[in-house]
Each structure stands twice: as structure tokens, then as C-alpha cells.
Amino acid sequence: MGMNNLFWRLCERFYSTAEPPPRVRTKPMEVLCVGLPRSGTESLQKALLRLGYDYTYHGWDMLFEDPHRMQGWVRLARKKWYGDKTGDCTITTVEFDELLGHSVAVTDAAASCFAAELIAAYPDAKVILNVRDLDRWHASAVKNLCTAINDTWTVWLCWFHPTLWWMYHCHQRMLWSRLFRCTDSSLSSGIEVNGKWIYREHCAMIKGLVPKERLLEWDVVDGWEPLCKFLGKEIPKETFPRTNDAAAFHHRTHDDLDRQGLIAMINMFLFTVLCLWLLIAAWRLVL
């Protein structure tokens, strides 16, 4: 089922919640970290914060710190993937600022899914292509992006809690499934089958879009030195932050989802009881 049809638009309307006012940029966007998720994105966020880039936006913010703005990200995703018939897709600086206006750097899901659009919207920002060994990246993406988040219980429970619904709809349906060309609507098979060539294609696109003097290709194992040299910052004395390994990813994901899931389970139970009551009432009327 396509994501641009009436059914999904009605669902978005049904699950819509009050949105906070749009942000207004007060500081320029300075750094775009456009590597794919599972490429050291959280370590890079911590490093940029340490270097003074406050605030550095991460995919965790979209999911857990700022969930009421996910509706805005879905609108941008719909504009990107299902644009008008002219074939042009221009997401303006103002549109990005409404979601990222408090940030001077961005990494993870938002940066990778909207890489080309962000590069065009912020032409003065430096660009970091955070990379990882391809086989290790693929194994991590399959294990974490597919298995940890795409559990069957999550798919069902998301229909019984608006925040869970937007989490799943925004990331699984509108961002990652489009990024990984999931033609059968399965994120798992999309990453498993398409992940490696999309990773190579994504890196090639970034290198083709960004002048060499504005671009740093960087692996988390490279640490502080090339990062600080590129950004013109002094190298901190402490060790480079290493966060968001597989165990930590599972722990944080399930801790946050379990809290929302408990409410969803209660809602599902009440919905089931209501349906049973209506069926019994209808059966008695027929008799």
C-alpha cells in the first residue's frame, strides 16, 4: 500500500495531536552530519556538543525528546518522497528551521534522510560524512533498525497510542522505509536486500554534492584529530565519546517504548472489551 493515499492521510488526521509553535532560528546552522544511522551518529553528537555545538540534533530527539514535532517531519517526508508533478522538491530553509531552529548541528535520521535538501538549505554549513565499515554497518542496521524496533508487538500496539503511532509512522513508514527503497513495505527486507548498495549510493551522492573543502569523510575510530582540524577546534583532553553500542541501543529503545507500550496495552484491552460488549449487545438484539 502506497503511503500517499487517502487511508494514511486520514490516519494522520485521526492521530494528530497539538503541535508546539514552529521554531525560529537564532544561530546559524554550522554542521550537517549526513551519514546513515548506525554510523557513529550518537558518538558524533556527543563530540559536537563537547566542542560547543549546542544544540546538536539527533534521531533520539525526534523520537523521544521532541515527539510532538514528528508530524512536521512527516510533512517534510511527504513533500520529499511524494512531491508535485513538476518533479521538483525544494524544502526551504524556513521549513527546516521550524523543526531545527534551536540546533547548530544535526545528525542521524533527519540528516541522512534529508541530506541533499539540508545541504541545499544551509549552503554555509560544513558537511561530515560519517562512515563505517560496510559489512559491520549492514550487520548493525539489520540487527538494530529491523529487529529491535520492528517487533510485531510494536506494530500492533502503535495503533492504540498516538505517540507510538507517530513514532512508527514517522521513522518506519515515512523515513527509513523510503530511504531504503522498501518496495514491499518491509523495512527488514529493505535493509537486508538493499542496504549495502544504498549505503554506497548515499555516500557517492554526498561526495558529488559537496565541494571537497566543505566535506569531511570521517569514521568514529578516527577520533578527535581530523574532526577538530576540519571544524577549527582545539582537541579536547578527554577520550573520544563512544556511545550507542548495540546493547545500549536495545536498552534505550525498549525502555522508552515499554513505557508507552503499557498505556497502549491498556487502551487495546479497553478497546477489545468494548468490541466484545458491542458484539454481545448486537447478538442479543438479533435474538
Q: What is the pLDDT of residues 58-93, one digit of tens each?
A: 988 887 777 789 999 999 999 999 887 777 778 999
Q: 235-246 burial, b if ≥16 CB within 10 A, otherwise e?
A: eeeeebbebbee
Cell of residue 15, nine digits = 492521530
Residue 267 pLDDT > 80, yes or no? no
Ordered by where they begin, the domains of the chain are 6-286 (3.40.50.300)
The per-residue pLDDT for 281 is 83
The per-residue pLDDT for 195 is 94
Bridge partners, 216 (sequence order) = 128
Torsions phi, psi of 15, nearest 5?
Answer: -90, 5
Lowest-confidence range among 105-109, 185-189, 238-242?
185-189
Longest dimension (CA), the chain: 81
d(CA 69, CA 65) in angstroms, rounded, equals: 10
d(CA 91, CA 105) in angstroms, rounded, equals: 18
Q: What is the pLDDT of residues 109-153, one digit of tens each?
A: 999 999 999 999 999 999 999 999 999 999 999 888 776 555 556
d(CA 103, CA 23) in angstroms, rounded, equals: 10
Lowest-confidence range among 20-29, 37-46, 77-86?
77-86
The per-residue pLDDT for 259 is 65
Alpha helices in 210-245 (DSSP H): 224-231
d(CA 17, CA 61) in angstroms, rounded, equals: 18
C-alpha dihedral (175, 180, 185, 189), degrees to nearest 10: -140
Residue that the C-alpha cell 468494548 belongs to: 274
Q: Which of 170, 47, 50, 58 is nearest to 103 (CA)?
A: 58
